[in-house]
Amino acid sequence: MSYVRSPLLGMLWSGGMVVLGSILAAVSIQYFLLPNQIIDGGVIGVSLMIARYLGDAHLPFFLVVLTIPFLALSYFFIRRNFFLYFLFSSLCFASALSFFSPCCPVTQDPMEVVVVGGLLLGLGAGMVIRAGSCLDGTEILAILVHKKHGFTIGQVVLFINLIIFAFYGWLFDDAHAAIKSLITFFIVHKTMDSIIVGLEDLKLAMIMTEHSEKVSRHITEHMGLGLTIMYGRGGFSGNDKEILCVVIERIDLAGLKNCIFQMDPRAFVSVANIHEAVYSPEAPATTKRIKKKRWGIFW
pLDDT (0 to 100) of residue 6: 63
Pick the range with the lowest mean pLDDT from 123-127, 203-207, 231-235: 231-235
Tell me: pLDDT of 1 over 50.
no
Q: 36-86: per-residue pLDDT in tens?
A: 999 998 999 999 999 988 888 889 999 999 999 999 988 888 888 889 999
> pTM of this prediction?
0.73
Which one is predicted more confidently, 36 or 286? Answer: 36
pLDDT (0 to 100) of residue 3: 47
Q: Which CATH number fits domain 202-292: 3.10.20.600, 3.40.50.2300, 3.30.70.120, 3.40.80.10?
A: 3.30.70.120
Q: 220-268: per-residue pLDDT in tens?
A: 888 878 888 888 887 777 788 889 999 888 777 888 888 888 888 888 9
* Annotated domain spans of the chain: 7-197, 202-292
Tell me: pLDDT of 33 over 80.
yes
DSSP assignment of the chain, as one string? ------HHHHHHHHHHHHHHHHHHHHHHIIIIIGGGT---SHHHHHHHHHHHHH-GGGHHHHHHHHHHHHHHHIIIII-HHHHHHHHHHHHHHHHHHHHS---S-S---HHHHHHHHHHHHHHHHHHHHHTT--S-THHHHHHHHHHHH---HHHHHHHHHHHHHHHHHHHTT-HHHHHHHHHHHHHHHHHHHHHHH-S--EEEEEEE-TTHHHHHHHHHHTS----EEEEEE-TTT--EEEEEEEEEEHHHHHHHHHHHHHH-TT-EEEEEEES-----TTS-GGGGGGGGT------
